[in-house]
Amino acid sequence: MVFKKNWKFDIFLIVLISLVSVSWFNGDYMINQGDLGLPLDRVDYFLRTTNLWDSSVSLGYAPAGQLASIFPHSIIGLITALIGLSFIGYNKFIFFSYFLIGGISMYYLTYVLNFKRLTRFIASIFYMINPFTMLVIWHVSHGGFQLPYSVMPLLLALFVRLLKHKDSKSMALLLLTSLFLATYSYTNPTFIMVHPLLLFSYLIYHLISNKNIKESINATKISATFIILWVLINSFWMIPFGLQINEQFETAHKPNLLNDLNTLKSNSLKIVDSMILGRVWSLDKGHNGVPYYAYGDFYKNSKLITFLLYLIPLIVFLAFIFKKKSIITYFGIIFLTSIFLIKGLNSPFSSFSEKLWTASPYITGAFRFITSKVSPYLLLSTSIILGYSLEIIFNKTRLKKIFLSMIFILLFVIIVYPMWNNDVIHVGGSQLPGARSKIPDYYYEMDQWLEKDTSDTRVLSMPFNYGGNAMYLWPGNYGFVGGDFTFYFTGGKPLIYNYMDSTMDPIVDFHKSVENYTCNKSHLEMLGMYNVKYLLFHGDSNWEGIKRVSMFSNENKDNTLSCMESMNITESISFGELTLYEIDEKHIYPHIYASSKIILVENNSQIIDKFEKVNTQWIFIEENNPLQKKIKSISDQSMFWQLPEISFSKDHNSKYDIEIKDASDPFILVFSEKFSDNWKVYIGKKDPGFFRLLFNKQDQNKIKVNRFANGWYIDKKGDYYATVYYKNQLWYYIGIFISAFTVILLLVWKNAKKIL
């Protein structure tokens, strides 16, 4: 009998296979392209994941989903940084760990479901190494999918165990595993649905297949208890996310980005392609002559590869003939449903599919990348059914060793050969760099230089990409394509590098003026209003590449440099291909200041025009504002008024302490972070305390100023303190308390024998 070793040997082989992921780095190159976005400064990232407001990006924003990444992503990053592990070492550890978790998770799931050993082993290896993980998961063009995919079988296994044992230990194990391994998945909010839908589908199967009414009632109660506890244990990110869900949706679907419906159409597959795992729309495509997949043409046109791709679903369908385990019916339904969903808007039933996917803009937005969101279901079901079918065939054949050898060579070597020769990671070329790269030393040199500048100011990146992406070329055909990482190298200063919403329209106008070579002194004053001190010129940009991408602005290198001269902005210092241009301090507005010089405007263009006639610290307010009478009284009489002395300190990203001295007349307190109704001001004693801030009612006189900033009309005389704070940060603290209390409850409760 082949396969005599015990399960420990299987796990050893899974660990051994996982080591292949380390070889993908080709030495000390990082793999961090596309949307993968591993934090280059892990300590800084940890601090950002403990604050709801992130001031490091452009004008600041509140990425509530980012709070979820503290487990395990941010914690692992912090620990590896503190023990001195290099970023490359951390990068390799993440790849190896996520790769390994997928195999171990599937092995445990098939064990819990009482599959035999060969099924467990084949399912585990196939879940790790298959055409889909090769083309999507580990191609890393889509970030955030690696861990959600890997941990999915483990969550299902623990849920199955919970329904089987009904004890508090199983409940605690599922909830704590979900917290520490799955929470990071929800930084991409659509995965909030992907994991629970899998567990819900199994619950439905369990209720239908179970003829004992009492058992079904208990299973329903246990599931309801799990949902309640899951919400409680995830309160630290769910409460702030729920409070800002509309804002999160708008940020993720900027008007300048691709339309959700068009994105869904482009990612929809033909029904025959959706079942074979080895087809994505970009397989044989490329950019400027550089293929997205080095092996794409061969992989799509090879008759052997095509045969093997169709062989997999054929073997899966055989399981329905062999079927001896009822659980195969459940996974068969998941398999067929996934195939139908992955086809997206294509036929058959295309009209029904379109109604389904466009029933709500939230549904369209959540599943616009339909292949990556639904394929994990397809892979999970395929892996288990494939392993089950092959075990039955194995038991029926006489040539067992030959059969096993053929299966492993065909399924785990030939059909996924790029995973063994390192082509699984995008190779790239001169016009589209591959996914392996080394950040040049001059970025680190610039970071050290900017750290010495303690001014509370911003840096504006040039050229500008509306989606926050970058295309850089470095020596040796290496470079970078993906979400711009430069904000890690600006000495702690916020980097304006992407379009967030209409609050940034004047910034966009400036970039268009550079593009058309119409920039002037008014644009210089406008940049100062946005608290910009440095303009960062990326000489290492892929200038030919960005000309072919519509989302880039001021892609003309010569025009950009000429505009600097026309605005009398002189070069401050250069670091390799990076040049910093410094704006004179007299043009720069402070981060927090008082003003009573008001100009009423109707639109963005008026702001630029008005700058020709004003000096620093005039502020712009829309004519139709909620404080018209008060604003008019200031604008009519302000020339005779004295402004108070303002000093401030930053407590953290979500809270600023302000001291106001010698206030004698009304004024507008301006706070130059992106406008949000959640920014509040409390006037009174220093350090007012948590509950005073939470129940503060002083915020009636708020107004948007300078198109983007927060402003408050203040009419109080004398010396006093003010606290500007992001209110939802307080709800984050409340969520932390609820989550921590729930964890303690679970640790105490886990010793109870039964839940019900």
Mean pLDDT of the chain: 86
Length of the chain: 756
Where are the domains positioned within the chain?
Answer: 7-419, 439-587, 592-731
| The two three-digit tokens of residue 372, written as one number | 């990556």
pLDDT at 725 over 90: yes
* Protein fold of 439-587: Rossmann fold (3.40.50)
Strand partners of residue 571: 581
Which of 204-213, 287-296, 317-326, 596-605 has the lowest average pLDDT? Answer: 596-605
Reported confidence tier of residue 1, pLDDT bands at 50, 70, 90: very low
Mean pLDDT score, 492-496:
94
Interval 235-273: pLDDT, tens? 999 999 888 876 665 655 554 445 666 777 767 777 777
Q: What is the pLDDT of residue 646?
A: 94
Strand partners of residue 592: 671
Q: What is the pLDDT of residue 206?
A: 95
How far, CA to CA in Å, does 117 sit from each of 7, 107, 120, 368, 518?
8, 9, 5, 38, 71
pLDDT at 753 over 70: no
Interval 99-138: pLDDT, tens? 999 999 999 999 999 999 999 999 999 999 999 999 988 8
Choose from 139-153, 628-642, 735-749 the range with maximum mean pLDDT.
735-749
Q: Could you tell me which of 313, 321, 280 has the C-alpha nearest to residue 126?
A: 313
Run of H or E including 512:
helix 505-516
Long-range contacts of 507-510 (CB under 8 A, 24+ apart): 507/460, 507/464, 508/464, 508/466, 508/553, 509/604, 509/605, 509/608
- Count of C-beta atoms within a 10 Å radius of residue 351: 10
Interval 505-514: pLDDT, tens? 888 888 888 8
Rounded CA separation 74/624 (Å): 44
Residue with more model confidence, 440 or 185: 440
Angle at 355 between CA 349 and CA 360, to 5 degrees: 150
SS (H, E, C) 172-218: HHHHHHHHHHHHHHHHCCCHHHHHHHHHHHHHHHHHHHCCCHHHHHH
**Global pTM value:** 0.89
Q: What is the pLDDT of residue 680?
A: 96
pLDDT at 615 over 70: no
Which of 175-184, 190-199, 360-369, 441-450 has the lowest average pLDDT? Answer: 360-369
Interval 413-453: pLDDT, tens? 999 999 999 999 888 776 778 888 889 999 999 999 999 99
Reported confidence tier of residue 631, pLDDT bands at 50, 70, 90: confident
Torsions phi, psi for 652 (to 5 deg): -160, -175
